[in-house]
Amino acid sequence: MKRLILPSTLWVCVVALLTFGQVANAQNLPDFTALVEDAAPGVVNISTSRTVQRSSAPGFGGFGGQEIPEIFRHFFGEEFGDRFPAPPGGGQGRTEERQSLGSGFVISEDGYIMTNAHVVQDADEILVRLNDRRELSAEVIGSDPQTDVALLKIDASDLPTLTLGDSDELKVGEWVAAIGSPFGFDHSVTAGIVSAINRTLPRDAYVPFIQTDVAINPGNSGGPLFNLDGEVVGINSQIFTRSGGFMGVSFAIPINVAMDVAEQLREGGRVNRGWLGVMIQPVSDDLAESFGMESAIGALIADLDPEGPAAEGGLQAGDVILEVNGEEVERSSSLPRLIGKGAPGTEVELTLMRDGEELTESVELGSWPDAEQQTAQTSSNNQARLGVMVAEIDDAMREQLNIPGGVVVRQVESGSVAAEAGIRPGDVLVSIDHRSVSSADELVEVVEALPTDRAIPVRLFRDGRSLFVALRLE
């Protein structure tokens, strides 16, 4: 074998070229040191504790036979619980204190802090650890599960605050960085790029998520996402995974959405979002052709609340909503977010496709049912156990689905038993635990008799197909 022997001067040139290339590449990469030095003081660690009932049966995966903690479900998805099922017949035993970790950031010198709603959900005590190692108790000013945003308040002054950016200006491919406390390691910094914008996730219809490849893990939740100018452009909320670990797909709540929610929480402790009162479904290619549409876009109205704003505004089942105030409804999952941006009492202009013709209707938005109204309605629909609001279906829908009965799901409470089982608005509940359900009253009777020591089969009709899901009551 012949070997090529280069002169020493040529070796020097090669090494110089390689070194120059490495330096050039390094110069093209962003430097986050100044960003971290400026922003780190405004990032906080949040720890919560709550008392729970511990199952007397031995657990699997180290969870003591209990339901999988919400923070793991939120980060790792529904399939995480399937890999760590609770044992049958667990029963209730002694109580124990459960602790969890998260992150947050200071938005005002007098102690207002932003984080995720799921970080502080059901917490008995919330402790905020500042950058100077002080630990202060925090109270929840307000929490909005629909957007996963919570506003906290600590008794402090002259706190370092973070600069808020404009998430609407984000571009795909832009560099971003996160600071948080993954697994309790305070002020850990990770970086990546914006992978996509305006992502809609199945259980979070009100948030146009920012998708990134920034490494996010439990404990990062609620922490800030920065652009290269050191401005907060999002709140890190969740990841997608099939293995239980970070896989390069992370989601953050845009700061513009989060701050709108925070301002409403600060003023009144709750969020008022627009409500249209429709049940929608996607527009398939075949449906688009049948409606005389060139492409499968928009949200098809499958049913309306007879007393809702849409019905009063003249909308009909079979209408396809194409635009809201001139903004295109690319897919059905985009509609709740576009409607939710409007304040109750304001008018929205809807562009519709009806009977092959495009027309415009103005509808005055209603107010999403508040906690008291939901409590009143859920007593009759037993939402307290399942987390659903239902309505009875008419004879035409029964005939179309070829089923003897059933009730249609109008609303699914975020984080509820029904949501965990994968039940969605628009599903028709046909039977629960092999018992037929033909009315809201029958649903109450069936749910009241359900056991809590095993998984329960639920038969649904979705998109014209029958399927089963399993749920487990607490």
Model pLDDT for residues 106-128, shown as the tens digit of each residue: 999 999 999 999 999 888 999 99
Query: Does the residue 1 lie in any domain?
Result: no
Query: Does the residue 18 lie in any domain?
Result: no
Same domain, 403 and 342: no
Cα separation, 472 vs 73, in Å, equals 15
Q: For residue 429, how many C-alpha atoms fall within 13 Å in the half-sphere facing its CB? A: 38
Domain termination site, one of 329, 352, 367:
367
Same domain, 409 and 346: no
Q: Is 148 a catalytic residue?
A: yes
DSSP secondary structure string, 425-467? TT-EEEEETTEE--SHHHHHHHHHT--SSS-EEEEEEETTEEE
Same domain, 161 and 260: yes
Phi, psi dihedrals of residue 165, rounded to the nearest 5°: -100, -165
Query: Does the residue 400 lie in any domain?
Result: yes
Cα separation, 335 vs 323, in Å, equals 9
Same domain, 203 and 120: yes
Tokens 């948080």 sit at which residue?
180
Same domain, 125 and 228: yes
Beta-carbon neighbour count of residue 296 at 10 Å?
A: 17
Same domain, 346 and 446: no
From 445, 422, 420, 413, select the one nearest 432 (Cα to Cα).
Answer: 445
| From 11-20, 55-64, 175-184, the region with the lowest mean pLDDT | 55-64
Same domain, 363 and 252: no
59 pLDDT band (50/70/90 cuts)? very low
Same domain, 424 and 392: yes
Of 55, 118, 181, 438, the active-site residue reads: 118
Same domain, 280 and 255: no
pLDDT over 70 (residue 83)? no
Cα separation, 176 vs 213, in Å, equals 9
Q: What's the CATH code of the domain at 226?
A: 2.40.10.120
pLDDT over 70 (residue 94)? no
> Is residue 393 within 8 Å of residue 304, measured between CB atoms?
no
Q: What's the CATH code of the domain at 299?
A: 2.30.42.10
User: Kind of pairing, strands 456-462 and 465-471?
Assistant: antiparallel
| Residue 164 identity (one-letter amino acid) | L
- 425-to-61, 199, 312, 365, 410 alpha-carbon distances in Å: 32, 19, 21, 19, 5
Same domain, 122 and 259: yes
> Is residue 245 within 8 Å of residue 232, measured between CB atoms?
no
What sign does the CA torsion over 57, 59, 63, 64 have? positive
Cα separation, 166 vs 454, in Å, equals 47
> Is residue 65 within 8 Å of residue 86, measured between CB atoms?
yes
Query: Does the residue 386 lie in any domain?
Result: yes
Q: Is 108 a catalytic residue?
A: no
121 contacts: CB under 8 Å, gap ≥ 6: 70, 143, 145, 415
Query: Does the residue 27 lie in any domain?
Result: no
From 279, 316, 307, 301, select the one nearest 409 (Cα to Cα).
Answer: 279
Domain termination site, one of 367, 395, 423:
367
Query: Does the residue 355 lie in any domain?
Result: yes
From 150, 173, 136, 176, select the one nearest 74 (Cα to Cα).
Answer: 150
Q: Which residue has the higher pLDDT, 460 or 154?
A: 154
Rounded percentage of the chain residues whose pLDDT exceeds 70: 77
Same domain, 119 and 261: yes
Q: Which residue has the higher pLDDT, 165 or 402?
A: 165
- Radius of gyration, alpha carbons of the chain: 26
Q: Is 379 a catalytic residue?
A: no
Cα separation, 341 vs 207, in Å, equals 10
Strands (E), 174-282: 175-180, 188-201, 204-212, 224-226, 232-239, 250-254, 274-275, 278-282
From 381, 379, 460, 472, select the one nearest 426 (Cα to Cα).
Answer: 460
396 pLDDT band (50/70/90 cuts)? low
Of 221, 237, 416, 431, the active-site residue reads: 221
Of 47, 100, 148, 181, the active-site residue reads: 148
How confident is the model at residue 12, as a pLDDT? Answer: 53
From the number of C-beta atoms within 10 Å of its C-beta (0-12, 13-18, 19+), residue 95 rates as exposed
> Is residue 447 within 8 Å of residue 387, measured between CB atoms?
no
Cα separation, 365 vs 347, in Å, equals 6
76 pLDDT band (50/70/90 cuts)? very low
Hey, what are 41's tokens? 């003081």
List the domain range (segments joined by +) for residue 320: 274-367
Q: How many domains is the chain partitioned into structurally?
A: 3
Domain termination site, one of 338, 367, 396:
367
Torsion, CA 303, CA 389, CA 451, CA 87, rounded to 10? 90
> Is residue 139 within 8 Å of residue 250, measured between CB atoms?
no
Beta-carbon neighbour count of residue 429 at 10 Å?
A: 26
Among the ranges 21-35, 357-371, 388-402, which has the highest mean pLDDT value? 357-371
Same domain, 439 and 328: no
Query: Does the residue 53 lie in any domain?
Result: no
Query: Does the residue 13 lie in any domain?
Result: no
pLDDT over 50 (residue 58)? no
Strands (E), 340-384: 347-354, 357-364, 366-367
